[in-house]
Structure 1
């Protein structure tokens, strides 16, 4: 069994006229911390993550989380990096959003959050109403994407979406209209599809905001390699290239690229 370690998020503030304590720390705030810690520890593998256990202790409010030693060390490394840089830039989007939620809570509730370990009195990161940890929205722009994968789920009571299992991007949740799913005449589950979607992308890193995806088009495709089909396409196209001496140069000119 992998060795475990502890991380701590201490919350300092007041609830009404009383200092914050385990007796008056609302479960809504505890739930928010659960979501934040899970995202910080396992931003891209929540379905296969190691167990995270929790205890609530006095000292304003000390939220103690126990998980694997490796994940705890990575947690401290990330919060220390944020403290040193004073910015959320360069973080994966789920991680940056988790810190931004803490920043919003600090401003909304006049709380101070101290990230660290139970073994060290000096926090690795402090977020309060005086700090400014926000995502730079100017770095994100709308873009169009093509995804290929197996459709493993579709529907939803309030928010309608499809779930596409892809090789390069994992499981994607893509919002769609209820009327679109109602209009499908055949079972689409566990079949291969090409999905055209619109969403947001970081203009510097190229990172995809997977929470922003909206379906534009859904069409079936065959993922198997068909050598005969490819050969036929080459034969059909070859006569059109017969008079072109330098194919690479011709393509560059068509694309407007100067050699």
Structure 2
């Protein structure tokens, strides 16, 4: 815990009356100073007393923690936990909010069309062609494919839209082939077809009105969770200190 002091060091630190290193060597006297101090502190002629003082100075006071200065020792790198990065949390929060907005826009469009189309005006159209097709993949369905013509305020429109949404599903589709086969009997070319059209955009028409399904509720919940998660991440980032600030102000 201690090292032997040289005469010039202890003279600068006002250790006892020694003027040169030669006088120390000639007198045979010994001086000891704590090893952890940057310069020699006032020394004592008794080495044991200085060793006890050095030990007392190195005692850690319980309940108090200190932040080491300078680079982290190589031996302690495995236990080093980097401080949280507020900038990363902020970016993640904004990504969550942006995703929530996109999902909310998509879901609200689906839900609005399904709900609003129930009050759309009706008219009759004429079927040009009809067919039945089968969807492959996770949800195997049999669906109706139509092409029809209708007239609104003297203007003729053509459409292939069967349901409110563009995605295949009930009631335009069914898992049972027999159900769609029986429905196709009413959709022969030349037959009249009752449709609904958008009052301000007559080009948008539909044969079937879709009901709200599980996907609508699921997407709504996902957008809400992403929105609140993004807000929380941004608030947490505002309370954090950047790693640079921690390094500059620790201790």
Q: Name the TM-score class by shorter chain.
A: under 0.3
TM-score normalised by L of structure 2: 0.25
TM-score normalised by L of structure 1: 0.24
Where is the helix percentage greater, Structure 1 or Structure 2? 2
Where is the strand percentage greater, Structure 1 or Structure 2? 1
Larger radius of gyration: 2
